[in-house]
Amino acid sequence: MLKTPTLVITLLAFHVCTYAQTIKAGKDVAKTNQLANAAPNKTSSITFHLETVAGIGPSGFSNSVIANTDMLKNSKDPFYREEYKAYPQMKNKPALDSLVEYLYIVNDPQFFFQNYVAGIYSKEFMIKKMGHLKYELADTIKLSRKPLLCYIAVIAGFNSNKQPVYMVDANNNGDFSDDKTSPVLSRIMDEELMVNSSQTADITYMYKGQVKGGTKKITAQAAVYDKKFAVSFSFPEFNYLKFDYKGKKYIAISQPRSYEPFYTIVPDRPYFTGLGKSKSVKNGQFVKIGDDTFGLSSVADNGNELTLIGDDIEGFRSDNTVNRTYIKSKPRNTDGVVSRQTGFKAPEIKGIDVNANAAKLNAAVSLAKLKGKYVFIDIWSTTCIPCIEEFPNIKKVYNLYKNKNFEIIGIVDERSPNATARLLKLHNVNWPNIIMGKSATQIKGYEDINSYPTTYLIDPTGKIIAIDLRAEALMNKLKTLLGV
């Protein structure tokens, strides 16, 4: 059983806080974000094939913490107990002390859909879960009704020498008897060590309507929560392609994963171990290549196939072009395009302030009305511990700059009744906050965010100038913009 409140909070923060829930008319609504598209109806496209390589990739040294299977199985919340029902029952687990078991789901919509089709999950659970994932229910037509190997089973614990080790069900056969153990290391910040300490698991996925086999590298690192042994996960591989555009060299990179996939195109450089979030581009957003702007139309084939749409695709030179379609059209104009990425106009935000500590409770909040100011958008969840731990840092910034052309808007994913009001009062938060899913709340363009905290800094013209600023990074940025 989950014996302490702290453990319950940890479960929610790290298994659930990466997903957001939209509530409307008393039920979950699954939606995907449709950003403004500046492309003409008929446009040119080019598709590249990327190669998979072992390494840290554009997201840098990052890792994910998820709930172990016992936390779901023994949860006081029936929703999480039902989620556990479809988890595979692994055979021949080795005798490890303090054994913990995990199921890392590589493709969440596919996993929950295939188990709904199999009759394991109820319709009600399916609708609610897809709402958490921000996945459009109509898009399930793109998923396989037959089970895919879209997950990786991992166990960890201490061996007879009292050393932490982990095992991966490498061939995904539900049996650990034919798998090897690897040491669980701590705080790995070396690319070669990260790769060498990883294991490779077999997966399957859909590509052009067919099931295709692939692999995924995974590394387990030590992580302690509530003073209990736990591990976090990293995936030291990515896909990349070098190409020329109008005589200059660039790199296309993709790092697909269920939690915050990372796609980008940047000028070629000799070596890198990570790029900032501001370089990440999502499907439907735009990428600047030289002086020209292209739309990222799709990423397929486990991240190995990337399609761009634009006007001057004749400027591309690459031996790894899969498909090229040229249609004569007028050049696009992206000056007024709204897109949730740096350099573009930020989508509008509207709502009613629910913070009794702020200047005016129940006052209307509007991003458009704050034009002329720098605005920090903090998107957080009431079950996200890192979000709440960030409040003192944000408060320090707000108290210093609130009278210097600066404002903050909090957007809250509220997971239980009155949780927002309780947390705002407890931590004496003094900036406006609006709650997702309320009738007065309008956050079109942000509603598919499934990672907390997510932040944006918007300049006085309404354009996004920075993403994912936290702690000292936000303070440092504002010092350069607004002085001290």
Residue 344 falls inside a structural domain: no
- Show pLDDT as tens, one digit a residue, over the chain (484 residues): 233 222 332 333 333 333 332 222 223 333 333 334 444 456 889 999 999 999 988 888 888 888 899 999 999 999 999 999 999 999 999 999 999 999 999 999 999 999 999 999 999 999 999 988 888 899 999 999 999 999 999 999 999 999 999 999 999 999 999 999 999 999 898 999 999 999 999 999 999 989 999 999 999 999 866 568 899 999 999 999 999 999 999 999 999 877 778 999 999 988 777 888 888 898 889 998 988 889 999 999 999 999 999 877 888 999 988 888 877 665 566 677 889 999 899 999 999 999 988 767 789 999 999 999 999 999 999 988 889 999 999 999 999 999 999 999 999 999 889 999 999 999 999 999 999 989 999 999 898 887 889 999 999 999 999 999 987 899 999 999 998 7
Enter the pTM of the model. 0.79
One-letter amino acid for residue 295 of the chain:
G
End of a domain among 334, 359, 391? 334
Residue with tokens 């979030």: 277
One-letter amino acid for residue 7 of the chain:
L
Verify that 108 and 244 share a domain, yes or no: no
One-letter amino acid for residue 304 of the chain:
N
Verify that 301 and 169 share a domain, yes or no: no
Verify that 84 and 218 share a domain, yes or no: yes
Number of domains in the chain: 3
End of a domain among 334, 362, 385? 334
Residue 476 falls inside a structural domain: yes
End of a domain among 234, 251, 283? 234
Verify that 102 and 166 share a domain, yes or no: yes
User: What are the backbone dihedrals phi and psi of residue 326, each rounded to the nearest 5 degrees, phi first?
Assistant: -110, 125
Verify that 96 and 194 share a domain, yes or no: yes
In which domain, by residue range, is 136 found?
Answer: 5-25+58-234
Verify that 68 and 201 share a domain, yes or no: yes
Residue 345 falls inside a structural domain: no
Verify that 91 and 188 share a domain, yes or no: yes
**Residue 352 and residue 438 in contact, taking contact as beta carbons nearer than 8 Å:** yes
Verify that 319 and 385 share a domain, yes or no: no
Residue 427 falls inside a structural domain: yes
- The CATH number of the domain holding residue 460 is 3.40.30.10
Residue 371 falls inside a structural domain: yes
Q: Count the Cβ atoms, other than its own, within 10 Å of residue 267.
A: 11
Burial of 56: CB neighbours in 10 Å, binned 0-12, 13-18, 19+: buried
Verify that 193 and 64 share a domain, yes or no: yes
Q: For residue 135, what pLDDT is reported?
A: 87
Verify that 218 and 290 share a domain, yes or no: no
Residue 340 falls inside a structural domain: no
Verify that 288 and 368 share a domain, yes or no: no
Verify that 186 and 306 share a domain, yes or no: no
Residue 82 falls inside a structural domain: yes
Q: For residue 332, what pLDDT is reported?
A: 62
Q: Count the Cβ atoms, other than its own, within 10 Å of residue 139.
A: 13
Residue 226 falls inside a structural domain: yes
